[in-house]
Amino acid sequence: MKRTRNVKIVATLGPASDNYDMIRTLHERGADVFRLNCSHGTHEELAERHRMIRKVEEDLNSPIGILADLQGPKLRVGAFANGSEELVEGAAFRFDLDPAEGSATRVTLPHPEIFAALAPGATLLVNDGKIRVKVDACGADFADCTVVTGGTISNRKGVNVPDVELPLAALSDKDRADLDFVCELGVDWVALSFVQRPGDVEEARELIKGRAAVLSKIEKPNAVDRFDEILKVSDGIMVARGDLGVELPVQNVPPIQKRLVRKCRTAAKPVIVATQMLESMIESPMPTRAEVSDVATAIYEGADAVMLSAESAAGQYPIEAVTTMNNVATEVEQDPTYTQIIEASRHAARTTVAHGIVAAAREIAETTDIKAICCYTQSGTTALLTARERPRVPILALTPLKETARRLALSWGTNCVITGGLERFKMAVVNAARAAREQGYADKEDQILVTAGVPFNVAGTTNILRVAPCDERLIYATDPE
C-alpha cells in the first residue's frame, strides 16, 4: 500500500481494535505495523488478532509488520489491610518480605533481589513515581525508608528502582512462555522489556532462534548508560519514554530521545519513539497541540516509527488517532525544514562496498531525474542501509521473502514488494521497473535506480548499482542477454 510519507506508524491492538474491519481500516488509514501487547490478552486472543492481521495483509496484498511486546518482570508491592494508605512527607515507611497485609508503616515487597541490590541513599518510586522514598537502612529482607514525596499507596502498585542495576533477568517465566508462543505464531518483531544490559538481549536472541527480529525497549537508566552495547546486539530499538520519565528526571528524556534516535540512524537500525504520543485521544477525537508537536519532533529527529498505545488499543477514537498521526507525518515531511534537518544530521560511516553503493544511489537519485531507488534485498540489510541515507526519492524494497518484507514495514521509507527468486541481474532490473510502475512511483518514460548483490540470495553482498528505464523494452534493447 503506497504511503505519502516515510516515517512508519505502529498501532497497538486491543479491545477498541479487535475485529477485522477495524484492523483493515487502521492499515488503510496509515498503520504499517501492529503491536500485540503480551501484558494484556490471552494466547488465544493474541492468535486471533494475528490471524486477522494476516487476513488484511492477504486481502490488500500489502506486507504488514507484527510486533509482539513482552511484559517483562513486574515489581509490585503487596496488598494493604485497608486497601490503601496515605504516606506523608517525612514519615518512616518499611518495605519487607513479610507476607502480612500492609499498614500505614509497612508493606510487603516480594522481590528479594531488590533488597539484595539496595544500598542506603537509594531511591524507590511507587505508582509511576507519584510516591518517592529514600532508603535509610536496608538488609536482605527489608528497607527502612523516609518518604520524600507522599501520596496514596494501594494494593499491588508498581515499584521502580532507578539508582541500581537489579539482578533480574529481562525475561520472566511468563515472558518465556509468551516468547515461544508468538514466535511459533509468526510475528516479525519481539520487543524486549526491562533491558538493563546487552546480555538480556543475547539471552532473548538465543531463545528466538532467528524466528523474529529483536527490538530492545530503552526504559531504564542502566539501558541508557549501556546503550551502545545494547544497540550492537539488537535489531531495533524502542525509546519507551513512559518508564524513562519515571526513573529519570522528566527534563532528561527529550535529549536522551534525540541522542538515541541519532545513534540508531547511524547504525541503520529501526527506532520507534513510543508512549503518550497522542494520549488525550483516548477520550477525545482531537489531540492537544503539545501532542501534535511531540509527534512532529520525533519525525523531525528522523525516527523510523512513531507508536500509538492505548490510543488505538483501548481508546474511543482509534481511527482518528491513526489518521491524525498520518496527517501530522505527511505535513512534517513536506516541510523544507524537515529535509534540511534530516540531511544535516546524515553522518553515516561508509566503510564497505555496500555502504558506498547505497550512498552513491542516494546522491545520483537526488542530483538527476530518478523517480525511485529499487533495492533487491534478501535479509533486509540493503534496504536498511538505503533507509539510513534518508533519500529524497522513494525506496522500493524488493525481496523474495515475506518475512523480510514484513520486518522492513518498520523501517523508514521502505515500500516493500514481494517478488520471485532471481538468477540474473537483468531480470532484477525488469522486475524493479514493473514494480515501480505498478506501485505508482514511476511511468514508462521515467528512470529508476536499481541496487542488488550478485550472486543473488546471499545476504550482505550489495555490489551493483544501475540507472535503468522503467520501460522493460528499453531494458531488453540495451541488455539483450
Beta-carbon count within 10 A of 394 CB: 22
Buried b (16+ CB within 10 A) or exposed e, 182-193: bbebebbbbbbb
Q: Which residues pair with 237 in a beta bridge?
A: 216, 271
- Which of 423, 360, 352 has its CA nearest to residue 381? 352
Neighbours of 61 (CB within 10 A): 9
Do residues 218 and 237 make contact, with C-beta atoms less than 8 angstroms apart? yes
C-alpha neighbours within 13 Å on the C-beta side of residue 84: 8
151, exposed or middle or buried, with CB in 10 Å at 0-12, 13-18, 19+? middle
Residue 183: HSE in the Cβ half-sphere, 13 Å Cα cutoff: 20
Distances (CA, A) of 225 to 72, 84, 196, 254, 416: 20, 35, 9, 15, 35
Paired strand residues for 85: 153
Furthest-apart CA atoms within the chain: distance in Å: 85
Q: Retrieve residue 81's grid coordinates.
A: 489491610
- R_g of the chain, CA atoms, integer Å: 24
Which residue from 283, 279, 301 is spatially nearest to 291, judged by alpha carbons? 279
Given the DSSP bridges, would you call strands 84-87 and 151-154 parallel, antiparallel or unpaired? antiparallel
Q: Which residues pair with 139 in a beta bridge?
A: 142
Q: List C-alpha distances in Å: 111 to 162, 167, 247.
A: 15, 11, 18
Beta bridge partners of residue 465, listed in sequence order: 451
Q: Are 448 and 370 spatial neighbours (Cβ–Cβ below 8 Å)?
A: yes
Q: Active-site positions?
A: 35, 76, 217, 275
